[in-house]
Amino acid sequence: MLARRQLLGALAGLPLLAAAPDYRLVAEPVAAGIWVVRGADAPIAMANGGAIANITIIATDAGAVLIDAGASHRQGAALAVLARRLTGTPVARVYLTHLHPDHSFGASAFPASMVAATPAVAAQVAGDKAGFSAGLYRLLGDWMRGTELPAPALVAQAGPVLIGGRALRLFTLAGHSPSDLAVLDEATGTLITGDLVFHNRAPATPHADLPAWRRALDQLAALGQARVVPGHGPVDGTPGTAIAQTRAWLDWLEPALRAAMEAGMTMVEAGNIAIPPQFAGLAVARLELQRSVSHFWAGLEAARLPRLAG
């Protein structure tokens, strides 16, 4: 057994440990039995612990349903506490809308048997093929401690789901990422879109397929829901404002980048083109434009090269 003096001596030799950071999550009521925990309308950064995605909490008689789980084990655990406080029941199910870590890594705080995702997302998340965890650990350091994603054990399939008396309808779409899940709460007409919809915040495109994304937005718009909970940005209390805004950005982005390339611009110049005044209210527009240049430039270049025979 260590003597007290030895112990203190050993501790003194350790680097000073900063206090573990804490998430301060605030839930906004959206409709009967539905709350949204708003993410910061900013890039993932030490200041926000990666808590930039909107998380939806839905009360059911069988327990709370989470749509997305945050960026880290610690955020997932904080969401579990918050959901229990709001609904009076523990979390019973977690749906992951897509593979991006600001939405999915908080699933670390829940047993795999509780986590549902499409087969494509389950495979992507389990294998961490995009190397998200290393990148996130670099960006977020201690916020990420203990984060280990389970392979989601439940398969999210398109169609109706009844959980604890609450009727949900799942939509399996694509475009923002290779597999995007949207969830409609039938009773309140609340459509939770994941990152298929951004509101007053520029869309992120690291794994986007723009034609597929447009088709998905058309499908969502056709539902005629009462309100939309976007993946990022404020809840849209209208059926179509946020969907139309996301669509308008994507419709502008692709030809704008192509025109920049045709004009002989460099990637840096393309990232500095004028952003139309209609997008003046969008957070992180310049940053997302610059990121989109990096996502799409090589593909645009390849498309311009003459097709080689044989």
Binding site for Zn ion (CB under 5 A): 100, 195
Tokens for 122?
């389950």
Tokens for 171?
């939509």
In angstroms, give the least distance from the CB of 101 to Zn ion.
9
In angstroms, give the least distance from the CB of 301 to Zn ion.
25
- Nearer to Zn ion (CB atom), residue 59 or residue 116: 116
- Nearer to Zn ion (CB atom), residue 195 or residue 236: 195
CB 106 within 8 A of CB 73: yes
Q: Radius of gyration over alpha carbons of the chain, in Å? A: 21
In angstroms, give the least distance from the CB of 256 to Zn ion.
21
What dihedral angle (degrees, nearest 10) is formed by the CA atoms of 123, 129, 133, 138? -170
Task: Give the span between the Cα atoms of 50 and 224, in whole angstroms.
Answer: 32
- Nearer to Zn ion (CB atom), residue 63 or residue 194: 194
Task: Give the span between the Cα atoms of 241 and 227, in whole angstroms.
Answer: 9
DSSP secondary-structure letter at 144? G
- Nearer to Zn ion (CB atom), residue 39 or residue 63: 39
In angstroms, give the least distance from the CB of 164 to Zn ion.
28
CB 220 within 8 A of CB 210: no
- Nearer to Zn ion (CB atom), residue 102 or residue 185: 102
In angstroms, give the least distance from the CB of 130 to Zn ion.
11
